[in-house]
Amino acid sequence: MSRSDKARQILENPVFKDSIDKLKKLYSTSLFNTGVNENETREKLWLAYHIVQKVEQNIQEILDTGKLARKQLEDYRNEIKNQKF
């Protein structure tokens, strides 16, 4: 199984999706409910939210890179198959 296939399985996994959604909601809700003087807390919540987002983006990039590589390989094989000598 390729990295791309594994990434797709992760992104489509209901437990993973639910976890990501819950974390994003928790961090964003907490961020918007901080008080005026809670700058450090706000910064930590902002960072936590964006780390979760970056993890999700990284897995999506692995999936997209694999799709692109698969397409390029397929195009190359078709090109060679269609060459006339």
Radius of gyration of the chain (CA): 20
What DSSP string describes 15-56?
HHHHHHHHHHHHHHHHHHT--TT-HHHHHHHHHHHHHHHHHH
CA trace torsion 59, 60, 63, 67 (10° rounding) = -160
pLDDT tens, N- to C-terminus, the chain (85 residues): 889 999 999 999 999 999 999 999 999 999 999 999 999 999 999 999 999 999 999 999 999 998 877 777 777 777 777 777 6
What is the C-alpha to C-alpha distance for residues 83 and 6, in angstroms, rounded to an integer? 34
To the question of pTM greater than 0.85 for the whole model, the response is no
Q: Which pLDDT score is estimated for 85?
A: 62
